[in-house]
Amino acid sequence: MLCFCEYACSEKNKLMKSLIFVVRSIAYGLALALLWLLLFQQNGVTQLNQWLQPKNQEQTAISYAKAVRAAAPAVVNVYTVTTQQDPRSYQRRIIQNQSLGSGVIMRADGYILTNYHVVNGADQIVVALQDGRQLEAVLIGQDRLTDLAVLYVKADNLPVIPQLPDIEPQVGDLVLAIGNPLNLGQSITQGIISATGRAGLSTNTYTDFMQMDAAINAGNSGGALVNSNGILVGINTAAFQRQRNLEVQGIFFAVPYKLAFTVMEKLVSHGRVVRGYLGLSGEPVINSSGERQYSTAQKFYGMKITEVENLGPAAVSGLLIDDIMVEIQGVMLTSVNQALDIVAESVPDTEVQIVIERRGQRMILPTRIGTRLDTE
Amino acid sequence: MKMKLSVLTASLLAASLFTHSSYVSAKIPFWGAESGQEMPSLAPMLEKVTPAVVNINVAGNREVRQRMPDAFQQFFGQGELRREQPFRGLGSGVIIDAKKGYVVTNAHVINQANEIRVTLTDGRTFEAKKIGEDPESDVALLQINADNLAEIKIADSDTLRVGDFTIAIGNPFGLGQTVTSGIVSALGRGGLDIEKIEDFIQTDAAINSGNSGGALVNLRGELIGINTAIIGPAGGNVGIGFAIPSTMMKNLVSQIIEFGEVKRGILGVEGNDLNEEIAKAMKVKSTKGVFVGRVTPESGADKAGLRSGDVIVSLNGKTIQSMSELRAKVGSMGVGKSVKIGVLREDKQLNFDVKLSQADQSNVTAGTMHEMLAGANFANGKTQDGTAGVMLTEVAERSPAAQLGLQQGDVIIGVGRTKVNNVAELRDILSKAKGVIALQVQRENSVYYVLIR
């Protein structure tokens, strides 16, 4: 019995030893492979990819299909009917104009962003979802300067567009435009961001918006611009058009997401966008003697006031032409656009401290911000 | 201790393998860019594919109608001035069979042309023969007699998804071969009134005049569509182009190869796209599909048991969104094929096997096989003793076929010493035959030979 046990034990030991030997050599081999991978990482990765990829690639060909699946259901078709009296007719004759656009479902509780020019003056707004539902929409508010409008629909199970609050789109990012061009039905086109534009509230022409080259046409207005992950980066708005009969392709504009979101929040809570107003215009200068800044390579010194509106908030507080504005409410100015954004985002009827330079002398002028009136 | 260490190393390695594998799913489209090794480019794929895409130049005479000028009306009346005017046109084509020299293009590219020249990327030019065309779907098949051709691989366009990359290859404005890229913008596009049968892939890859008949390929270089049309207010591309799906093209072309034309099959239903209003009125729980308004008696759909009021939701397991999609898919399948139709009836999902019936009773026009056979119509048939062959269902008087002595009811059972069982075999043999051809024909109980030169 004892003998047998001894035999078995030694046998067990041997087995253990050989097992350790095998495991250890495998481990060393793997460690060496790891070292090799780390040292020659570049090569290693590509080869590893080739080794890991073939099957994967066969199954999932490179495609935006995932991004489309995530975003496309939240993009709706917007149909509007505008009723007006025929201006060319002496009798009372009603003409109905139908127009179309797109919209983006921003919140599950039924708020939809679209373009101001899509729904402006409409008497009836119908929203068609991609699952076939057609819903009557209510206009919550609109903002002409950013060409945005918010609609509300009452429905359950609304697909919401994926959003990232602090998204920072960059020039060169891939984008997909989703909308309903020429009422063909939902279409997806691709391109890149050509310029990121500005997200400040004083933004008021579409050339300030995000520029991109994904083809959009009539009917795409108000639709979504998403990145390659399907996350919203903008609201498609316009095609570049300077001259009639000159078709420009590849220059399109979208309202940047952050601006669109700010405007939407304001429209949802107040029904309109209230912007602060000073009643002056100015140009960027590079020194206290008022030399004009011609390129962004030159250092910005301040904003020289070139016009002051009669009886406007600036005139009332004593700002004069040729004063150089350098600071508003403790914020050093870095560009004219920044100054305009600070003013636009200030709450009307509050007092701000404006620091100016007049003939080399710094002075502080308390100014009561006015309200910017939206004029066509 | 040592063992622990080795286990640790091993798990470390495993972890490193996992972290590296994240490179595999790197962001599209620059999948390899982080490693700094190679710039992503379509060039390697295109080098293989572009030789299969050809330029097509056509010439012919087109009848032009002109209204009689006012000044001449008192002399010649108000009639129309008709005259033949020569024209030239251009387009693109795709080689789908290198051995046989088959080139697919659009029917509108070769419309009314009597001279078709195909130019390959290597500079060779060939006179092409028209095998057949289907103007309703805008597909045509040509044949060139050439060696060393490159053919394109045909992908299954039914697996396409919106967002997939597309590359258009063609000859826009006759500039020479041009490659443009984009994505699938939409699928199953119809109701555009460009063609009678529409089930287009919509893409934003730039397609212009001259791209017609060219290839739309995927990232693997496989054919997913034949570029056919665009919507452009000023005539140029605005990012909205349309291509005939490759699967539909393949179905049509295989019929053209077999019969010289498309034998369009029909289900035998009339209907509308299902919308919310109809769905509400009929208490259907879906909002996508085809609402059947009427089933043609004695049609395939009728025999299979479809009823008016049914909602067709799928065809061969694939969802159907609209009437135009259903019409296009069924219209490209060919007579006699069996299809599986998925139907919603009173909220129950039912399946029917429907055999497609013939749209009209036309036969194969024999003239497409050999010019000396013009005027005859062929169909698969049997002799009195049951031998399979090709039956002449009609022979026009004073036609070349009639002058050969062929009569209605004759059955061609062989060519030379080769037996012929059906139309497809006959076409194949005739296309290869050179010089004198001896058709073995059985009329009632006697067999005789007809020689054609």
Q: Which helix (H) or strand (E) holds A76?
A: strand A75-85
Instruction: With H, G, I as helix, E, B as strand and everything else as coil, classify residue A276.
Output: strand
The CA distance from A358 to A349, in Å, is 25
Picking from A32, A50, A63, A66 by the largest number of B CB atoms within 10 A of its own CB, the best residue to mutate is A63
Q: How far is A129 from chain B (nearest CA, A)?
A: 11
- With a CB cutoff of 8 Å and minimum separation 6, the contacts of B346 are none
B290-295 and B311-315 beta bridge pairing: antiparallel
* Distances from the Cα of B193 to the Cα of A35, A186, B106, B324, angstroms: 64, 18, 16, 10
pLDDT for B112 equals 86
* Strand residue runs (E) in B316-387: 318-319, 338-345, 348-355, 357-358, 364-365, 376-382
Q: Are B85 and B128 in contact (CB under 8 A)?
A: no
Contact B164 A24 (CB under 8 A): no
Q: Is B370 a catalytic residue?
A: no
Q: How crowded is the C-beta side of B216, counted as CA atoms within 13 Å?
A: 35
* Distances from the Cα of A158 to the Cα of A49, A119, A128, A225, A327, angstroms: 40, 21, 12, 19, 46
Best CA proximity match to A211, nearest among A252, A175, A244, A242: A252
Instruction: With H, G, I as helix, E, B as strand and everything else as coil, classify residue B47.
Output: helix
Q: Which residues of A touch B164 (CB under 8 A)?
A: 61, 63-65
Give residue-wise pLDDT tens across range B25-78: 334 444 544 555 567 788 999 999 999 999 999 998 887 777 777 777 777 666
pLDDT for A26 equals 73
Tokens for B231, please give them.
């919507």
A94-105 and A111-115 beta bridge pairing: antiparallel
Contact B163 A65 (CB under 8 A): yes
B192: confidence class by pLDDT, cuts 50, 70, 90: confident
Q: Are B291 and B271 in contact (CB under 8 A)?
A: yes
pLDDT for B29 equals 47
Question: What angle do the packed helices A2-39 and A41-59 form, to 10 degrees?
Answer: 100
Mean pLDDT by groups of 10 residues along chain A of 376 residues:
48 71 74 63 45 44 88 96 80 83 95 94 93 92 92 94 92 94 92 86 76 92 95 90 69 92 92 89 89 87 92 91 92 90 89 92 92 70
Lookup result for tokens 């985002």: A345
Q: What is the DSSP letter of A63?
A: B
Contact A56 B220 (CB under 8 A): no
C-alpha torsion angle, residues A359, A364, A368, A373 (rounded to 10): 40
Please state, rounded to an integer, the average pLDDT across all residues of chain B.
84
Q: Is the peptide bond before A73 cis (omega within 30 degrees of 0)?
A: no
DSSP H helices, A195-307, are 257-270
| Mean pLDDT of the B353-363 span | 70
What contacts 24+ positions apart, CB below 8 Å, involve B372-379? B372/B400, B372/B401, B372/B404, B372/B452, B372/B453, B373/B400, B373/B401, B373/B404, B373/B406, B373/B452, B374/B399, B374/B400, B374/B401, B375/B399, B375/B400, B375/B401, B375/B402, B376/B401, B376/B402, B376/B406, B378/B412, B378/B423, B378/B426, B379/B423
Exposed e or buried b per residue across A84-105, where buried means at least 16 C-beta atoms within 10 angstroms of its C-beta: eeeeeeeeeeeeeeebbbbbbb
- The interface predicted TM-score (ipTM) is 0.71
Q: Is B20 a catalytic residue?
A: no
A245 by Cβ neighbours in 10 Å (0-12 / 13-18 / 19+) ranks as exposed
A 121-140 residues inside an 8 A Cβ radius of B: 131-134
Instruction: With H, G, I as helix, E, B as strand and everything else as coil, classify residue B101.
Output: coil
B18: confidence class by pLDDT, cuts 50, 70, 90: very low
Exposed e or buried b per residue across B235-272, where buried means at least 16 C-beta atoms within 10 angstroms of its C-beta: eebbbbbbbbbbbbbbbbbebbbbbbbbbbbbbbbebe
DSSP H helices, A92-217, are 116-119
Amino acid making up residue A81: V
The CA distance from B153 to B170, in Å, is 17
pLDDT for B361 equals 42
The CA distance from B308 to B306, in Å, is 7
| Mean pLDDT of the B85-102 span | 93
Q: How far is B6 from chain A (nearest CA, A)?
A: 5
Best CA proximity match to A287, nearest among A272, A273, A298: A298
Q: Which residues of A touch B231 (CB under 8 A)?
A: 182, 184
pLDDT for A197 equals 82
B118: confidence class by pLDDT, cuts 50, 70, 90: very high
Q: How far is A42 from chain B (nearest CA, A)?
A: 6
Contact A184 B6 (CB under 8 A): no
The CA distance from B53 to B177, in Å, is 8
Give residue-wise pLDDT tens across range B258-310: 888 888 888 888 888 888 778 888 787 777 889 898 888 778 888 899 988 89
pTM of the model: 0.72
- Which residue in B134, B138, B310, B410 is the catalytic one? B138
Lookup result for tokens 């009886």: A311
pLDDT for B36 equals 55
Q: Is A117 a catalytic residue?
A: yes
The CA distance from A110 to B63, in Å, is 59
B120: confidence class by pLDDT, cuts 50, 70, 90: very high
- With a CB cutoff of 8 Å and minimum separation 6, the contacts of B263 are B255, B334, B335, B358, B359, B362
The residues facing B95 across adjacent strands are: B103
Closest Cβ–Cβ partner in B35, B231, B279 for A182? B231
pLDDT for B357 equals 80
